Amino acid sequence: MKRRTMKMKTMPSLHKWPVNIFSWLCCSLILGLGCCLLLANQAIANVLPATQTPAQLIHTELTQDAPSISILEANQATIEEIIEETSQETAAAEIALLFDEAQRYRGTDGAKSSAILQRLEKLRHNLSQEQAYYLDYLQAYQQGILGKHDIALNTLLNVFNNTQSTELKFQSGHTIFNVLAISRRFVEALSYYNQTMALYSQVSDGGLRATSLFAGMMLFNELGDYERVISIRQHSDLATLSEGLRCKADAFLIRAESNLGPSDKVLPFEQGLALCRSAGQPLYESFIRLYYVRFLLANSQYMEAKTELEAHLATSLSTQYKLIIQEYYYLMAKTYWLLGNEAEATLFAERALETSVSEQYSLPLTLSLELSYQMAKQRGDFELALQYAEQYAQADKGYLNQLRVKAMALEMNKAEMLEQQQRIEILKRENQLLTLAQALERKENVNVQLLIVVLLLCLLSVCIWAYRSKRIQSELARLAQVDELTQVFNRRQLVLLGGQVLALAERNKTKVSVIMVDLDFFKSINDRFGHNVGDWALRRVAETLNALGRKSDVFGRLGGEEFAFVLSDCALEQALDFAELCRNEIATIDVSDSLFPGALSLTASFGVTETGLSGYDLEGLLSDADQALYQAKDSQRNCVVKFEAHPITNESDVATDAARDEVREGVSDATTDGTTSVKIGEATDATTGKTVNV
Ligand SMILES: Nc1nc2c(ncn2[C@@H]2O[C@H](COP(=O)(O)OP(=O)(O)OP(=O)(O)O)[C@@H](O)[C@H]2O)c(=O)[nH]1
């Protein structure tokens, strides 16, 4: 039996708790941060507005408010109601027909138009709100043609501002700027032109779009912006036109080209006239004719002009368009005067003056007054000539003023358009900036999220690293305390814990017993069966003994096949019983799972002492227990021997200090009762060579 390191009870698992708490804290922290990130994301999402389009909102409202029609109720309609319904259906059919006709004769046949509109007015109570607005529009259009511009405008503005139909709004819009232009309210006309043309892309009716372009051409003709008229004519929507529309377009183009001044270009007067005649457009036909006659007169073709005018006077009058009729009369007067027919000239000049439009100054009026003045002067009627001269001067001034107003309106409109364009440009830039800012914000959000993820990963790495190093530390600590083979305390830990137990017991004056255990003939087990079997035996014995001890006991492997117990609060008798129990348990270990079960038997010898015999010093206790163990080995083995102190009886038998040192292990030389004693042992005296008891 040799002194070696020892092991004890299996390591308690308490050393693991700081690691577990640490890991738990790390996980909680990570989870907490993860939750914060999710909540932050949720908060960002909540800040953003709900993306419901206006169309979806309208749909929701419509769905909520949708009225339900009871078929049952409909079936229960009285006969009177059915009759009423039938008459309503008839009225509806008539109304549809009348609207078609009103549209067809609008601007082409004043008398027919008036009759149709009167009939529709009588049916007004049968019209829907939108139909009523359309009737208002047609009536206003008719009023405009008759020169009642203020009345027409009031109605048109009401339709423009209240109709739900984009098409009717668009249609009334271009009639408004037309009437405003005729009324010389050019600034307003241009403003409505802009408002109306802003709806252009929303209007699907090609005819209506073309009409608005025509109205634009008319407006800019009126304003004297003839280049603009020519440029509108080139709009792609006017590339292919019906005969009627081509007639109108030609009329506007001829007016613009004529007013741009003399050029080598031959204007298509005859073609335009033929086109408008064939299309049944007397208004535009008359319009072209006015410029044609002007052209003839400018080229001294007075007879041709006279023929043309006389042949188509009725057509012009049928238009009921006062401006055309006035100019027509003037041109007749001028032609007759140029041909020397003063009577006819005077007659038509007077008619032209009578046909003045809403006290406005117009070119035909000015020219008619000038002609009347010249004719009166020529006749020698100076008083009348003076009157005409005064009126002419006033009209000319008024007309020139109007020209100035037009020019100013155009300038203002150009400035307004420029300002609007600049505003649009600024808005576009602001939008771009906003988009950029949003993109930047999104990027920043992503960056913040990435940063949080990186921080979390770093934190996780630190936690993992800390957890691992803590585990390594714990493992190292465990390895320093535990015997690797048997997993019980090693000698170092047994001495440490045993010392603490003894210190406490000494303070409390309680007894502590120490048992030393040594396997019998263990060398022969190794030799016969090999070290593997020896190791197995050591593990089984350690396991068995460890299970027998109490929680307060300290058990460990001293080294080799030697183990020890430090039993707290345990008197010698109890320790002896416990040793006996251990001995018995070892002797009955089931060896069936060892490599050579049949031949293998395990026994151990036990040496027991107590603080009452050996004191509270662990070294002394171990030494005394070891001594008792030797006694056990010396006897039959597989037994328990109690340590006993022996007083010195024979001087000669007492070994010298040198001989005592030869004892296999150190001994104590003080007994518990204070008497000097020597513990049992064998040594060889170096001087005599005799074996002595110690
Ligand atoms: N298998 C194994 N054998 C060990 C270990 N430690 C020590 N030994 C062996 O244990 C044996 C101890 O032998 P001895 O001290 O002569 O004791 P013994 O054979 O048990 O004889 P007694 O104690 O007198 O009964 C030696 O052969 C050692 O090699 C170990 O960890 N594993």
| φ, ψ dihedrals at 516, nearest 5° | -110, 140
Residue in the block written with tokens 């001829």: 254
Hey, is 375 helix, strand or coil? helix
Q: Looking at the DSSP assignment, which residues form a beta bridge with residue 519?
A: 604
CB-count exposure of residue 402 (10 Å: 0-12, 13-18, 19+): middle
Nearest CA among 110, 138, 112 for reference residue 124: 138
Is the domain 491-693 a CATH 3.40.50.620 member?
no
CB 633 near ligand 1, within 6 Å: yes
| φ, ψ dihedrals at 340, nearest 5° | 85, 5
Structure ipTM: 0.97
Ligand 1 atom closest to residue 518's alpha carbon, by position in its atom list: 23
Q: Which of 2, 486, 523 to mutate to test the pocket of ligand 1 (most atoms within 8 A of CB)?
A: 523
Residues whose CB falls within 8 Å of the CB of residue 181, separated by 6 or more in sequence, listed in order = 189, 218, 219, 222, 223
Ligand 1 atom closest to residue 534's alpha carbon, by position in its atom list: 1
pLDDT of residue 77: 53
Nearest CA to ligand 1 atom 5: 560
Across the beta sheet with 604-610, the strand order is 554-559, 562-567, 513-519, 604-610, 640-642
CB 561 near ligand 1, within 6 Å: yes
pLDDT of residue 62: 32
Would you give the DSSP letter of residue 11?
A: P
CB 531 near ligand 1, within 6 Å: yes
CB 529 near ligand 1, within 6 Å: no
**Could you tell me if 481 and 493 are in contact, meaning their C-beta atoms sit under 8 angstroms apart?**
yes
What is the distance in A from the centroid of ligand 1 to the CA of 573? 29
User: Could you read off the pLDDT of 562-589 as tens digits, one per residue?
Assistant: 999 999 999 999 999 999 999 999 999 9
pLDDT of residue 439: 94
pLDDT of residue 66: 36
Radius of gyration, alpha carbons of the chain: 63
**Could you tell me if 305 and 291 are in contact, meaning their C-beta atoms sit under 8 angstroms apart?**
no
State the pairing for strand pair 513-519/562-567: antiparallel
Would you give the DSSP letter of residue 655?
A: P
Cα separation, 241 vs 180, whole angstroms: 27
CB 603 near ligand 1, within 6 Å: no
CB 485 near ligand 1, within 6 Å: yes
Nearest CA to ligand 1 atom 15: 1
What is the distance in A from the centroid of ligand 1 to the CA of 2? 8
Nearest CA to ligand 1 atom 8: 560
Known catalytic residues are 561
**Could you tell me if 364 and 352 are in contact, meaning their C-beta atoms sit under 8 angstroms apart?**
yes
CB 333 near ligand 1, within 6 Å: no
Nearest CA to ligand 1 atom 11: 523
Q: Which of 526, 532, 641 to mutate to test the pocket of ligand 1 (most atoms within 8 A of CB)?
A: 526
User: How many CB atoms are located within 10 Å of the residue 70 CB?
Assistant: 8
CB 520 near ligand 1, within 6 Å: yes
CB 545 near ligand 1, within 6 Å: no
What is the distance in A from the centroid of ligand 1 to the CA of 1? 7
CB-count exposure of residue 228 (10 Å: 0-12, 13-18, 19+): middle
**Could you tell me if 250 and 272 are in contact, meaning their C-beta atoms sit under 8 angstroms apart?**
yes
Nearest CA to ligand 1 atom 28: 523
DSSP string, 115-160: HHHHHHHHTGGGS-HHHHHHHHHHHHHHHHHTT-HHHHHHHHHHHH
Tokens of 75: 């079936």
Would you give the DSSP letter of residue 253?
A: H
CB 517 near ligand 1, within 6 Å: no
Residues whose CB falls within 8 Å of the CB of residue 412, separated by 6 or more in sequence, listed in order = 187, 190
User: Could you read off the pLDDT of 453-503 as tens digits, one per residue?
Assistant: 999 999 999 999 999 999 999 989 888 999 999 999 999 999 999 999 999
Would you give the DSSP letter of residue 299?
A: T
pLDDT of residue 646: 67
Residues whose CB falls within 8 Å of the CB of residue 541, separated by 6 or more in sequence, listed in order = 517, 519, 563, 586, 589, 602, 604
Tokens of 200: 């252009």
Ligand 1 atom closest to residue 533's alpha carbon, by position in its atom list: 1
DSSP string, 259-275: HT---SPPP-HHHHHHH
State the pairing for strand pair 562-567/554-559: antiparallel
Tokens of 342: 């003063």
pLDDT < 50 stretches in the chain: 2-19, 21, 26-27, 31, 33, 35-74, 648-694
pLDDT of residue 575: 96
Ligand 1 atom closest to residue 637's alpha carbon, by position in its atom list: 25
What is the distance in A from the centroid of ligand 1 to the CA of 520? 9
Ligand 1 atom closest to residue 519's alpha carbon, by position in its atom list: 20
Cα separation, 282 vs 432, whole angstroms: 53
CB 247 near ligand 1, within 6 Å: no
Nearest CA to ligand 1 atom 30: 560
CB 6 near ligand 1, within 6 Å: no
CB 632 near ligand 1, within 6 Å: no
Nearest CA to ligand 1 atom 10: 523
What is the distance in A from the centroid of ligand 1 to the CA of 584? 21
Ligand 1 atom closest to residue 527's alpha carbon, by position in its atom list: 27
| φ, ψ dihedrals at 460, nearest 5° | -65, -45
Sign of torsion over alpha carbons 20, 22, 23, 28:
positive
pLDDT of residue 418: 86
End-to-end CA distance of the chain: 19
Would you give the DSSP letter of residue 521?
A: T
